[in-house]
């Protein structure tokens, strides 16, 4: 028996995608993929910047703590990095990028070496609420990155 040809019933015919529809679908997909890729890239850049800022802040805090660990005057025998024996001896300390060291003299890891940092120690007085002025030192630690961005910490230390 030979198969017979059946004519499709009205409204029940199959239809494939036209070339124009395929091009439109591909274009929409490409735009969506580009938008998602841009969002992911932007998120990664924000994460990198936050990490960079945190590293700079950590370097500033570490150097401030090093200065504050020294005695106010040279009465004690504490000796810091480079023969420094008191807070005021840190005035003018400057470390260039690529040569940053911790309090023990060890170089920081390479991600921290793109920064430079400096210390300024100046005599100052602080008057609070109509009370007599308190003499002391203002310690300023500045950390600068390769792009010129600065992070600054400042602390007043009253004279004992």
**Residue-wise pLDDT tens digits, 107-118:** 999 999 999 999
| CA terminus-to-terminus distance, the chain | 115
Strand partners, 73: none
**Whole-number Cα distances in Å, 19 to 13, 16, 24:** 19, 9, 9
Instruction: Give the CA dihedral 27, 32, 37, 42, nearest 10 degrees.
Output: 130
Residue 139 has pLDDT above 60, yes or no: yes
Residue 152 has pLDDT above 80, yes or no: yes
Contact 139, 87 (CB under 8 A): yes
pLDDT tens by residue, 78-103: 677 777 888 999 999 999 999 999 98
Contact 137, 122 (CB under 8 A): yes
Average pLDDT of 62-66? 95
What is residue 64's predicted lDDT score, i.e. its pLDDT? 96
At residue 6 the predicted structure's pLDDT band, cuts being 50, 70 and 90, is low
What is residue 26's predicted lDDT score, i.e. its pLDDT? 94
Average pLDDT of 46-54? 93
**Whole-number Cα distances in Å, 91 to 86, 126, 140, 142:** 10, 19, 9, 12
What is residue 76's predicted lDDT score, i.e. its pLDDT? 59
**Using alpha carbons only, what angle is made at residue 35 by residues 29 and 41, rounded to the nearest 5 degrees?**
135
């Amino acid at each position: 028996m030979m198969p017979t040809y059946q004519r499709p019933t009205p409204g029940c015919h199959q239809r494939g995608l036209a070339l124009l529809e395929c091009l439109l679908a591909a274009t929409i997909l490409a735009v969506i993929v580009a938008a998602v890729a841009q969002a992911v890239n932007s998120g990664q850049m924000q994460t990198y910047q936050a990490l960079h800022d945190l590293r700079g802040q950590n370097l500033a805090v570490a150097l401030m703590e090093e200065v504050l660990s020294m005695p106010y005057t040279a009465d004690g025998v504490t000796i810091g990095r480079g023969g420094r024996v008191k807070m005021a001896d840190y005035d003018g300390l400057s470390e260039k990028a690529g040569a940053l060291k911790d309090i023990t003299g060890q170089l920081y890891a390479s991600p921290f070496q793109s920064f430079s940092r400096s210390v300024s120690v100046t005599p100052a007085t602080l008057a609070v609420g109509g009370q007599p002025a308190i003499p002391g030192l203002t310690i300023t630690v500045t950390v600068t990155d390769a792009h010129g961005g600065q992070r600054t910490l400042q602390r007043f230390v009253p004279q004992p």
